[in-house]
Amino acid sequence: MTTAADPRKLDMARSARDADHLQGEWPLASLPRLAEVHVGDVPVPPVRWSAQAELRPVLGGEGEIWLHLQASAEVAMPCQRCLAPVRLPVSVDRWIRFVAGEAQAEALDAESEDDVLALPRWLDLAELIEDELLLALPIVPRHDVCPAPLPIPEQPLEEEGDARPNPFAVLAQLKSRS
C-alpha cells in the first residue's frame, strides 16, 4: 500500500523512484518569510504549487534525482515611488537536481546552468517553494502608474550651502595672505 508523500517531509529519493506528483495550495500566512514581505491588509489568493519528482537514467551509473517545481503567489509590497501597496504576481518554474553532498552540489552548481542542491534526508517542500518565490520577487517593486500623483514641493528648498562660505574661497584668502 502506497501512502501519499508529505510535502513538508518529502523523501526525495523515494519520490523520484516513484515519480511522485504533488500539488496543492497554502495560504500565504503558512509561509512566514513570504508573508513578512506582504504589506497591508490586501487580501491575496493562496500560494499554488506543483512538484513532479523523477529519476532520470544515466548510462553506466545511478539515476539522477530531479524535481520540477512550479509555484505562483501574489504579494503586496510597498511601491518604491509612492509607498502605496502594489500587488505583484510572483511565479517560479524550475528544474532542480539533487546530488549526494554539499561539495558535489557546489561543484556542479558552479559549472552548470542547472539548479543543484544537496540531497537532504527529508525535504520541506514548503520551505523550498518559499525560498524560490522570495528569490523571484522584484528588487524594486513599483506600480506601472502610481494610483495617486506623487507630492511635489511647491517651492524649491533653500540651499543650506548659501549660509557657509565656499571652502575654496577661504583657502584662496589664506593663500593670498602669505
Instruction: For residue range 7-48, list pLDDT tens digits in order.
Output: 888 999 899 999 999 999 999 999 999 999 998 887 889 999
| pLDDT at residue 124 is higher than 90 | yes
Beta bridge partners of 165: none
Across the chain, mean pLDDT equals: 85
Q: Rounded to an integer, what distance in angstroms lies between the CA atom of residue 52 and that of residue 45?
A: 23
Residue 4: per-residue pLDDT: 63
Residue 2: per-residue pLDDT: 44
Overall average pLDDT of the 172-178 stretch:
77
Q: Rounded to an integer, what distance in angstroms lies between the CA atom of residue 15 and that of residue 21?
A: 8
pLDDT tens digits for 85-121?
999 999 999 999 888 877 777 777 777 777 878 788 8
Q: Rounded to an integer, what distance in angstroms lies between the CA atom of residue 164 and that of residue 152?
A: 27
